[in-house]
Amino acid sequence: MAEVLHLNLTNAILPLVLLVALTVALPAVLAGATLSQGRLAVVVVMTALVVWGVGAGIMAMLYAQINDGVWPGVGASLERSGLMALLWGPVLALVWLMRAQGIERRRGLLMGAKHAAAD
């Protein structure tokens, strides 16, 4: 039992890497090259919910693995997954900021192209 209490590759590092990878990849796939800050906000909220749910699934599997196949409740899994948001939450905020700046940059380039065409 003492071995499962230590953080190692399979019970800590890989799940967190998977959640961070989802946090970075989902906004890129779902938002694409949008010019709408509103759409980006919706995509970020959807990403947070998906990553939270995937984290809950991971936590439920790890809990069942440790406790001889006994699955925790949904609430307990979501609560444990919420603790992992301490890592992926700031990453999602940074991704949101970078994507929002990209939207404003693309808008600026389109405005510059319109003004250049008008001259």
The predicted-structure confidence for 70-106, as pLDDT tens digits, reads as follows: 888 899 999 999 999 999 999 999 999 999 999 999 9
Cα 58 from Cα 65, distance rounded (Å)? 11
Classify the C-alpha dihedral 40-100-50-31 as positive or negative. Answer: positive
Q: Residue 5: is its pLDDT beyond 70? A: no
Going by the DSSP 8-state scheme, the letter that residue 67 receives in this structure is: T
pLDDT in tens, 19-61: 999 999 999 999 988 999 999 999 999 999 999 999 999 999 9
pLDDT score, position 4: 61
Amino acid 3 reads: E
pLDDT score, position 50: 97
Cα 35 from Cα 56, distance rounded (Å)? 32
Using 50, 70 and 90 to split pLDDT, how confident is the model at 119?
A: low
Q: Residue 9: is its pLDDT beyond 70? A: yes
Cα 28 from Cα 98, distance rounded (Å)? 11
